[in-house]
């Protein structure tokens, strides 16, 4: 069997090489994302694996089909960068990857603590030898009500992590998790908005959750609410967030994702002009923490995503199915 891996990062190469030897398969490694200019490198391959920088639209999918490639795997959990419906119409099978929820869940707790203890301001003050305390008084976790929207694997693990702090835990999900009920109280979304001091998002991006955090949602929340997003940037309507920060409706933001982050996050853009004005403006607030979509980024997660991606392609070829196939 022969596969090609586009978007290959340096930290993935060792995992690919070990898998190639272990499974006795050939894997071509390409640093660039999959595009119309390099797609012919996939000629003769049984399947293709990509990352989120590769935009797999109808043009790319048509070309893959012409190359007789019927299996595509993304080394990500999300798959918004792939036209799944069109792939299905062509008979191209697509799978996504899996990694343990611990990395994102741990990162979520870190962002919450950084927000409620004003760590961004404290860090910047220390860099200029300002060791004053004014404006840095924080809150204790045991005194907070924390609302978790989305109680899948990551959301449930966040609740596990936070329960040890003694916080009151609220949860919202269309599909309730019996184990979560042991540590959190399920409520409707409006109640979660009304009673939570901190709200963290762990829900998938679908039509019903697109821009779910907007002016209407914010109006139902406490003043000085802390919002955390390690899920998808498109869950939040950025202009409404900016207004929320400016009017102090939002006390702090911890964002690991951002709408229209593609072409910016995971790239070195130090000498470039960044055209995302919302990102540039929101970042400058002292109570807004923004990181480059790295909550998932641990050694264990990288290995897991590479392994699950390649294993899916092997399963497609050998068994005609993959447990990670995207079914819509």
Active site positions, annotated: 232, 261, 293
Which residue's entry shows tokens 């992590």? 161
In whole angstroms, give the CA distance from residue 244 to residue 248. Answer: 6
In whole angstroms, give the CA distance from residue 201 to residue 108. Answer: 9
The answer to whether 1 and 314 have CB atoms below 8 angstroms apart is yes
In whole angstroms, give the CA distance from residue 217 to residue 257. Answer: 19
| DSSP-derived secondary structure letter, 39 | G
| DSSP-derived secondary structure letter, 83 | -
Residue 221 tokens read as: 């929340």
Q: Which residues of 83-119 are buried (b: 16+ CB within 10 A; e: fewer)?
A: bbebbeeeebbbbbbbbebbbbbebbbbbbebbbbbb
Q: Could you tell me which residues come within 8 angstroms of residue 5 by beta carbon, excluding any fewer than 6 positions away?
A: 12, 16, 27, 28, 29, 30, 48, 49, 50
In whole angstroms, give the CA distance from residue 227 to residue 119. Answer: 15
């Amino acid at each position: 069997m022969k596969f090609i891996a586009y978007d290959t990062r340096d930290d993935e190469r060792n995992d690919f090489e070990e898998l190639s030897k272990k499974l006795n398969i050939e894997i071509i490694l390409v640093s660039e994302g999959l595009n119309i200019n390099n797609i012919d490198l996939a000629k003769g391959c049984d399947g293709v694996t990509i990352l989120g920088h590769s935009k797999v639209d109808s043009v790319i999918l048509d070309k893959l089909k012409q190359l007789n490639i019927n299996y595509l795997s993304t080394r990500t959990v999300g798959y918004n960068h792939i036209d799944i419906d069109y792939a299905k119409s062509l008979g191209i099978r697509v799978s996504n990857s899996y990694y343990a929820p611990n990395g994102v869940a741990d990162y979520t707790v870190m962002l919450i603590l950084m927000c409620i203890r004003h760590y961004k301001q404290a860090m910047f003050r220390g860099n200029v030898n300002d060791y004053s305390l004014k404006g840095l008084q924080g809150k204790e976790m045991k005194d907070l009500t924390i609302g978790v929207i989305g109680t899948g694997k990551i959301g449930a693990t966040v609740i596990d992590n936070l329960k040890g702090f003694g916080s009151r835990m609220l949860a919202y999900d269309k599909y309730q998790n019996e184990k979560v009920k042991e540590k959190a109280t399920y409520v409707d979304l409006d109640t979660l908005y009304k009673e939570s001091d901190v709200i963290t998002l762990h829900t998938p991006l679908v039509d019903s959750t697109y821009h779910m955090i907007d002016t209407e949602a914010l109006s139902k929340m406490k003043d000085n609410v802390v919002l955390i997003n390690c899920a998808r940037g498109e869950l939040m309507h950025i202009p409404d967030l900016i207004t929320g920060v400016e009017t102090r409706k939002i006390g702090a933001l911890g964002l690991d994702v951002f709408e229209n982050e593609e072409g910016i996050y995971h790239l070195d853009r130090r000498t470039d002009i960044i055209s995302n004005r919302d990102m540039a403006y929101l970042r400058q607030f002292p109570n807004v923490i923004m990181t480059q979509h790295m909550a998932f980024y641990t050694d264990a997660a990288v290995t897991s995503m590479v392994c699950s991606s390649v294993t899916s392609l092997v399963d497609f070829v050998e068994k005609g199915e993959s447990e990670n196939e995207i079914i819509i």
